[in-house]
Structure 1
Amino acid sequence: MTYTITATGNLTGNVRYMNSDPPSQAAFNSNSSQFLNTVQTAFTAGQPLVYNATLADPNQWAFVNASGGCHWPDCDSSNMPQIQCQIAVDGQVVVTQSATTGVTCSTRPW
Structure 2
Amino acid sequence: MRQRRVRRVAGLALVSATASALTAVGPAGSAAAEDPPPPAPAMHSVKYTVFAEQPTKVDIYYRDLDPPTWADYSHNPYVYSPKVEVHVGPDEQWNLDVWLKNPDEWAMVTATSGPGQATPNIHCVLAVDGVVVKTHQGPKGALCSIRHW
Structure with greater helix percent: 2
- Please report how far the alpha carbon of residue 90 of structure 1 lies from its aligned counterpart in structure 2 after TM superposition: 0.8
Percent identity between the two aligned chains:
31
Q: Which has the higher strand share?
A: 1
SS of structure 2 residue aligned to 1:28: helix
Which ranges in structure 2 are unaligned for 5 or more consecutive residues? Answer: 1-45
> Which AA in structure 2 matches 1:91?
G
What is the rounded CA distance, in whole Å, between the counterparts of 2:58 and 2:50 in structure 1?
12
- Which of 116, 130, 144 is matched with 1:91 structurally? 130
Equivalent of 1:15 in 56, 60, 63: 60
Q: Distance in 1 between matches of 2:92 and 2:81?
A: 23
Corresponding residue SS for 2:126: strand
Does residue 80 of structure 2 align to residue 35 of structure 1?
A: yes
State the TM-score, normalizing by the size of structure 1. Answer: 0.85
Query: How far is the alpha carbon of 1:87 from its aligned partner?
Result: 0.6
**Are 2:147 and 1:102 equivalent residues in the alignment?**
no
The structure 2 residue matched to 1:64, chosen from 100, 109, 121, is 109
- CA distance, structure 1, for counterparts of residue 148 and residue 91 of structure 2: 29
Measured on the aligned residues, the alpha-carbon RMSD in Å equals 1.8
Please identify the structure whose Cα radius of gyration is greater. Answer: 2
Return the TM-score normalized by structure 2. 0.64
Stretch moving more, 29-38 or 96-105: 29-38
Please give the alpha-carbon distance, in whole angstroms, between the structure 2 residues aligned to 1:51 and 1:87.
10
- Asked which structure has the greater RCO (Cα within 8 Å, sep 6+), the reply is 1
Q: Is the 8 A contact 2:105 2:148 kept in 1?
A: no
Contact persistence 1:12–1:70 (CA under 8 A): no
> 1:85 and 1:14 mapped to 2: Cα distance?
12
The number of residues matched between the two structures is 104
Cα offset, 1:44, TM superposition: 2.2
Q: Which residue of 1 aligns with 2:23?
A: none
